[in-house]
Amino acid sequence: MAETALWTLIREVRTRAGLNPRELARQLKMSPAHLYQIEDEQSGALPSDETLRAIARVCCADLQERAAVTHSLLLARARLIVSPEVAAHLSPRGEENMPEEFQRRVQADLKGRSETEIRLLDAQLGFNGRLGLVAAGLAGLTKSEVRALAVALDQPVEDYLVAAGYFPDWMLPLVRKEEGEVGLFDALRNISGKALGELASVLPPAWMKLVQGLQAAKIEVGEKK
């Protein structure tokens, strides 16, 4: 997303929502004259963070879109009030974003949850407001955070790690599976102790280490039995 001036962003957000200045001003409980000022670069008016959050809330019904718009508006405002040296490091993609596959997965798994539920989940995970941004493709998660999110959403941890890009390419055939199929990961991580002993007699040590690592991963992520 290219950097856009705050005033232009506000107009674009309002226009996409199908609102004219008077309609938006009424919903924000401000005078139309005040809204005209914060949409006019020449006026020098600078809206507060709370006003920008309110604009996003009024103009965006979708929670992920709202998070992305809020993020963009606040960053645009920040570029106006910090020194030029700092502003140069601020952009709409200021944080490393996750792969699109992971973003789509999180969006699907959050679908149907209310804004309050998402905020509570975010607080539970200690994401400091990043969960909505992750779903909008505007923030990243560490490997351990991806694991924690998968467990919190009761989703297969290995699927989340693959979508997030935290498995090396050579391991993808082991963990990927088509819908309705059992992947090699599933088979190996659930193998019995007896079968594991039998494998040890025929598999090279490197392969046994891999199988044992997959089983350890099951324990590490705290998967429900």
pLDDT the model gives residue 51? 95
Q: End of a domain among 87, 104, 139?
A: 87
Average confidence (pLDDT) over 58-80: 86
Evaluate whether 87 touches 79 at the Cβ level (below 8 Å). yes
pLDDT the model gives residue 215? 63
pLDDT the model gives residue 93? 43
Q: End of a domain among 166, 181, 209?
A: 166
Domain assignment present for residue 10? The answer is yes
- The amino acid occupying position 189 is R
Torsion over CA of 49, 54, 59 and 60, rounded to 10 degrees? 80
pLDDT band at 217 (very low <50, low <70, confident <90, very high): low
- The amino acid occupying position 151 is V
Average confidence (pLDDT) over 87-99: 58
pLDDT the model gives residue 55? 96
Of 54 and 176, the structure prediction assigns the larger pLDDT to 54
Average confidence (pLDDT) over 112-122: 89
Q: End of a domain among 150, 166, 182?
A: 166
Domain assignment present for residue 37? The answer is yes
Task: Look up the CATH number of the domain holding residue 46.
Answer: 1.10.260.40
Whether residues 68 and 104 fall in one domain: no
pLDDT band at 82 (very low <50, low <70, confident <90, very high): confident
Average confidence (pLDDT) over 157-174: 76
Domain of residue 141 covers 95-166
Domain assignment present for residue 191? The answer is yes
